[in-house]
């Protein structure tokens, strides 16, 4: 089995995945996705787009999501570096609405974030970040929540000299963010 564990976090729809690395004198090999193992662990989505980003230490990207019918689930990996990855529940009626899960991701781990969550991360080191998404990017359906929303109160590890894009700095707080997600999705 190429995966060591599938662990459901404080919001049980979010899954931390530890994958196996097979090392030898040439380097290493890892299976990052295997449909049968993901299905066996309740992750039933297929992926239609793969994205790669590079972020300098201190960069915050997010909190992003897309409205239905272009809602995205995300399977995210750190290729190199280390990030603090965050998923905020934006599903109205959910017992976890406005709550978040935050986890440090580094190579060897992945995080599954289903539709109905705003996603973001902070680079704790210069980092390459890989996203597999369940629906294609749609600018018309893209929305965001302010990265430092006082209702959500994310405890970002790096507090000084945070780098945020102009676009992300203009995101509304969750109470004004447009969502069309109910619970259950």
User: Token match 């066996």: residue?
Assistant: 40
pTM of the predicted protein model: 0.95
pLDDT at res. 145:
98
pLDDT at res. 2:
83
Tens digit of each residue's pLDDT (9 = 90 or more) over 19-47: 999 999 999 999 999 999 999 999 999 99
What are the chain's domains? 3-176 (2.60.120.10)
Q: Which of 135, 35, 131, 37 is nearest to 78 (CA)?
A: 131
Q: Does 47 participate in catalysis according to the annotation?
A: no
Q: Return phi, psi of residue 78, to 5°.
A: -95, 120
Give the pLDDT mean for 71-96: 97
Q: Classify 36 as helix, strand or coil.
A: helix
User: Token match 């790669």: residue?
Assistant: 52
Residue from 65, 100, 109, 131 carrying the catalytic annotation: 131
Kindly indicate the confidence band of residue 63, based on its pLDDT and cuts at 50, 70 and 90. very high
Residue from 64, 65, 77, 109 carrying the catalytic annotation: 64
Q: Classify 173 as helix, strand or coil.
A: coil
First vs last C-alpha separation in the chain: 30
Q: Where are the alpha helices (DSSP H) in the chain?
A: 35-40, 166-169
CA distance 125 to 57: 4
Q: Does 119 participate in catalysis according to the annotation?
A: no
Q: Is 12 left (phi over 0), alpha (psi -120 to 50) or beta?
A: alpha
Tens digit of each residue's pLDDT (9 = 90 or more) over 166-179: 999 999 999 999 99
């Amino acid at each position: 089995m190429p995966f060591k564990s599938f662990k459901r976090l404080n919001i049980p729809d979010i899954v931390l995945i530890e994958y196996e690395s097979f090392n030898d004198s040439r380097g290493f090999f890892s299976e990052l996705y295997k449909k049968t193992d993901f299905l066996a662990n309740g992750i039933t989505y297929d992926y239609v787009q793969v994205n790669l980003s590079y972020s300098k230490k201190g960069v915050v990207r997010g909190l992003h999501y897309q409205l239905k019918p272009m809602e995205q689930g995300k399977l995210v990996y750190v290729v190199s570096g280390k990030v603090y990855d965050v998923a905020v529940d934006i599903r109205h009626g959910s017992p976890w609405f406005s709550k978040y899960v935050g986890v440090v991701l580094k190579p060897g781990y992945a995080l599954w974030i289903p539709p109905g969550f705003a996603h973001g991360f902070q680079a704790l080191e210069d980092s390459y970040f890989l996203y597999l998404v369940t629906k294609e990017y749609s600018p018309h359906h893209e929305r965001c929540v302010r990265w430092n929303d006082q209702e959500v109160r994310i405890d970002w590890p790096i507090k000084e000299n945070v780098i945020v894009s102009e676009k992300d700095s203009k995101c509304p707080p969750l109470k004004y963010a447009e969502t069309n997600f109910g619970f259950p999705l």
